[in-house]
Amino acid sequence: MEAAPRRDRHPLMNALLACGLAVLAGCSVAPLPELKPPVPETWRNAPAGVAPPSADLKGWWTALGDPALDALIDRALQNNLDVAQAAERLRAARTLNHHARDPYLPSLHGRTNDVIDPDTTASYFVVGFDAVWELPLFGAWQSSKRAAQGQENSAVAALRGAQVSLVAEVSRRWIELRTAQQQAQLLGGVRDALQEKLRLQQVRAQLKLVAPADIAKTQAELARSEAALTEPQQTIIACVQQLAVLMGQPEPDPAWLTPGPQPQLGAWQLTTAPADMLRARPEIASAEAEVLRAAGDLGMSRADIYPHIGLGASLQWSTNILSNYRAHTGEAISSFGPIIDVPLFDWGQRVAAAHAKDHQLKAAVYAYRQAVLQGVAEAETAMGDLEQSRAREDATQRASVALDGTIAALRKREELNLGSKLDVQDGLIENQRAQLELVSAIAARDLAYVSLYKALGGAPMSNPPLPSDAPVSDVPVAKGTD
């Protein structure tokens, strides 16, 4: 009559034991700090009337209107070696993250051993299995996942950062290349006009219509124009070599040396500048991942202060393979019970390690805030540069249009014998120099545009692809989870 109540107690005791273990497993988890980046609601250096919709950074470079640049960026994203390195590190971090909690799963080991009896009268061959299950108590289960997830998030941010830097660098080098090619053509035009002007002056000098000082001045200008031609040529050589490195190839493409149209924004204006764009900055994402990893390390250090509790089982079978006094026999033995590892003399060291991890977590939070502030400062600066460069391009464009009209008027006066060819050459030289200023202004605005979107975390695509064998869907934007 009394046996039944005892059987009823077993499920209750088991439930209480399970609840106790669950409580132990969940306690001492380091709380994740609340990260609220101090992002401004509006930008001080943005043009008036900029609306704050949701961010869309996909394919931002297409606004430059250069299909050759678009194709170049696609090639770079697949072939760049820095991106390939970051992709491999992400694969490694993801593999480890998938098995972050494996140390807290039951493990089974099989082993053999050759044992000699201490009295040297017998030798035994032992075969056995050992099973150990360390219980993930005191927050170790969640903390181990946090640390591994932080490592994966950091690898995702590194890949995104490599791609952002790659796209920005390819855009910059391509803009500089096309700009240098345009400058070389215009400087060649200035040189040709100066050569024609010098020829005309030498003809007039024979007629005593031009002073020798004027000829010397024109010769000096011609020499300076020839010297100026070396600068864009140097830029062209440097840009094609850098583009080859970015493409992951040893030699530049010959097609790059063929002059082409300069990329330019044209009528594009900044109409959207949402503050949440900054959240896509790889530097901020990396700092956030470091906070998650530091929180996981803190939780693991706290769990290490307390006893490690687990369950163990063993099954061993031995056979006497050599004996001086008895026949060969075989025996089996098994065991099962709890395993408790209590820190004693090194407990103070473990407590100090936990305190150190707590300070490292606080440092990671400060680093995150610093990354946000740095991102805001870079975005504000780049936004101001873009607006000022737009004003400069508009002004130089108006000056160039005005000089085009002047050249037409000078040519008309020459046809009517109201002006000279020297006046036309002077007008051509001035016009070419105005075109040089316009080309530089367009390039400055293009580069400011690239800098702005890099400062805003202009990722090459919403989910960055892994090069080679991994599809885009394999790289989600990792979030911190418990």
Distance CA 159, CA 151 (A): 12
Could you tell me the strand order of the sheet in which 308-323 lies? 107-116, 122-134, 308-323, 330-341
pLDDT confidence of residue 154: 92
Kindly state the tokens that stand for 99: 């098995």
> Which residues lie across from 134 on neighbouring strands?
310
Tell me the HSE value of 160 on the side-chain side, using a 13 A CA sphere: 29
Distance CA 254, CA 252 (A): 6
Contact status, residue 68 vs residue 396, Cβ threshold 8 Å: no
Residues with pLDDT less than 70, the chain: 1-30, 37-58, 114-122, 269-277, 321-330, 414-415, 419, 458-482
Write out pLDDT tens, residues 137-174.
Answer: 888 888 888 888 889 999 999 998 899 899 999 999 99
Write out pLDDT tens, residues 422-468.
Answer: 777 777 888 888 889 999 999 999 999 999 888 887 644 444 445 55
Parse the chain into domains and list their residue ranges. 26-101+141-306+358-474, 102-135+307-342
CATH of domain 26-101+141-306+358-474: 1.20.1600.10
pLDDT confidence of residue 276: 62
pLDDT confidence of residue 2: 39
Instruction: Work out the mean pLDDT of the chain and round it to a whole number.
Output: 79
pLDDT confidence of residue 356: 93
Sign of CA dihedral 65, 67, 70, 76: negative
pLDDT confidence of residue 328: 52
Backbone angles phi, psi at 366, to 5 degrees: -65, -40
Sign of CA dihedral 99, 100, 105, 107: positive
